[in-house]
A and B are shown apart, each in its own frame.
Chain A
Amino acid sequence: MTYAAEISRANPSCFVFLVDQSASMTDPIGGGRQRKADVVADAINRLLAELSVKCAKEEGVRDYFHVAVIGYGHAVGSAFTGPLAGRDLVPLSQVADRPARVEKRTKKVPDGAGGLVETTTRFPVWVDPVAHGPTPMCRALESAEALVTDWVARHPDSFPPIVLNLTDGDSTDGDPAGAAWAVQTHVTADGAALLFNLHVSATNAVPVTFPDTDVALPDAYARTLFGMSSLLPPHMRFYALQQGVPAGDLARGFVYNADITSLVQFLDIGTRATDLR
């Protein structure tokens, strides 16, 4: 059985986020006004926050994961700002304790009487929007591969590393398919490293989540990223279905202009805190 290894402090797993910071990220996302760079920075910050909350216990955040955020654009390297600037893989407890800043944001939540009420939440920020330079996606994937190679050598029994690439898809240093495949050739006793992709596009096409075919995808970039993406392991498909997201047997870890933070809920760190229905 694969992708079933216990994720614990003694046997942690790792996440490598790749963030496209190229000049084209200044364009707005399809059907909206937000810049792609803002969408991607928000997605990364929400993923890091969700992961921290998931692993939080009363004594602090447990190091069930080590996390790297690699930006690629003008340069390829750590995209952390603030106290973690320049770091690659960081234990999750340090990520949680050292954001660059914690902003206050307002959001609307149900008021219990059928309406909505505005409330303030704390929003930690580790990564700022950047849009500058070309899109060296191959080099970024090679950086991820280096981290993954080192990780599986040091943690041969761990839940396999997950690499999540957030991009508008237009690689400027060659076809990324080979570098993407190379990432997924590194294995632990529990399975091969997983590569997932979030495609943020200026094209105003229907959002797609975990498709099992590229037929409905709107352009060549999307199809390339779909082809680079790993199959979702069975337990992740199960949790996707539980959340009402259709995910067939051949569903891939690919999302087009849609939310990917649900990915964090696909990770097992013990008994789930599920409400009765």
Chain B
Amino acid sequence: MVTFSLRVPKQGNTVRECEDASRVLTDGPVCVAVADGASESLLAGEWADLLARTLTEAARDDDCVLRDVDSFASALVRAGEAWSGWLADYVATREADGRPIAWYEQPKLDRGPHAAVVAARFDTDPSGVTQWDVAALGDSCLFHTRGGRLLHAFPIESAEAFHNSPGLVNAFDRDHALLARHVRTLSGTAEPGDRFFLGTDALAAWFLRAADRGDRPWDVLADFTRSSDGFTEWVARARAEGLMRNDDVTVVLVDLG
């Protein structure tokens, strides 16, 4: 099994300003998470990174986390609890650096950052069959392809379903039942040669539009796994041609090989 990650910031932003995050764990079943911090939030990239880290570790340690909406909601709450500690350190560091929180930052810090997230786990048995589980809250997506076919698009199946107010996980949300109500899960089995793509919304919308046209967007992305050279330029062209919305772009490919 091979994994490969690609990331490009929104045009006009620096790499440091990119608010997408991804994590891949390979010490055991392969666990992948992609998270997309909301542009209106403060520290959205840091929250996305903490979510991706917490969820990949949770999925590695417990195979139920991505199968059961309540378990996934519990993992989201744990990430939020970790955020409170992280934020206290951040505020203390800003004070120590002589750059205390400004009046215009405080309302957003009080409200907490928001992010969409998708996480998946791939567990291959000795016969070569891979059991996969995925859970998501929001509009970051997973696509499962085999040969020339798109087998699964999750949790969004149509490019028209994307908009700028998706479901998001807020770092201070401790309402377990509310979170669980918005979590979607899916499980299945995969064969050698199958490929999975986990991506944030702008790329996911492009992917679905291209698939609807009869194109094979999975081949376009897979080509960049041989060499990521040119991915940034390719994204820039897709944006300039109106094929992809100008937003941070992150995609992780899991190739079962």
Listed in ascending order, the chain A residues whose CB lies under 8 Å from chain B are 6, 8-11, 49, 52-54, 56-58, 60-61, 96, 102, 122, 124, 242, 268-277
Does the CB pair A271–B104 fall under 8 Å?
Answer: no
Chain B residues whose C-beta falls within 8 Å of the C-beta of A6 in the assembled complex = 246
Residue from B43, B106, B107, B167 in contact with A276 in the complex, judged by beta carbons closer than 8 Å: B167
Indicate whether B194 reaches chain A with its CB closer than 8 angstroms: no
Binds A, one of B33-41, B49-57, B77-85, B141-149: B33-41
What are 24 A-B contacts defined by CB distance under 8 Å?
Answer: A6-B246, A9-B12, A53-B107, A56-B42, A56-B102, A57-B17, A57-B42, A58-B42, A96-B102, A122-B106, A270-B38, A270-B39, A271-B38, A271-B40, A271-B114, A271-B164, A271-B165, A272-B40, A272-B164, A273-B113, A274-B38, A275-B170, A276-B173, A276-B178
Besides A54-B40, A273-B38, A273-B111, 7 other CB < 8 A contacts?
A52-B104, A124-B103, A271-B164, A271-B165, A274-B38, A276-B170, A276-B182
Residue of A nearest to B173 (CB): A276
Does the CB pair B170–A269 fall under 8 Å?
Answer: no
Chain B residues whose C-beta falls within 8 Å of the C-beta of A274 in the assembled complex = 38, 114, 165-166, 168
Give a binary string over B11-23; 1 marks a CB under 8 Å from any A CB, 0 the rest.
1100001000000
Does the CB pair B108–A56 fall under 8 Å?
Answer: yes
| Cα separation A275 to B164 with both chains bound (whole Å) | 13
B interface residue count range (under 10 / 10 to 19 / 20 to 34 / 35 or more): 35 or more
Complex interface residues of chain B between 136 and 182 (CB less than 8 A to chain A):
164-170, 173, 175, 178-179, 181-182
Evaluate whether A271 and B36 lie within 8 angstroms (CB atoms) in the complex, with A56-B105, A57-B42, A122-B103 already known: yes
Chain A residues whose C-beta falls within 8 Å of the C-beta of B246 in the assembled complex = 6
Chain A residues whose C-beta falls within 8 Å of the C-beta of B247 in the assembled complex = 270-271
| Cα separation A242 to B12 with both chains bound (whole Å) | 30
Chain B residues whose C-beta falls within 8 Å of the C-beta of A96 in the assembled complex = 102, 104
Chain B residues whose C-beta falls within 8 Å of the C-beta of A276 in the assembled complex = 167-170, 173, 175, 178-179, 181-182
Chain B residues whose C-beta falls within 8 Å of the C-beta of A271 in the assembled complex = 36, 38-40, 114, 164-166, 168, 201, 247
For residue A234, give the distance in angstroms from its CB to the closest CB of chain B: 14
Does the CB pair B165–A58 fall under 8 Å?
Answer: no
Chain B residues whose C-beta falls within 8 Å of the C-beta of A53 in the assembled complex = 104, 107-108
For residue B118, give the distance in angstroms from its CB to the closest CB of chain A: 15
Evaluate whether A272 and B38 lie within 8 angstroms (CB atoms) in the complex, with A58-B43, A102-B103, A124-B103 already known: yes
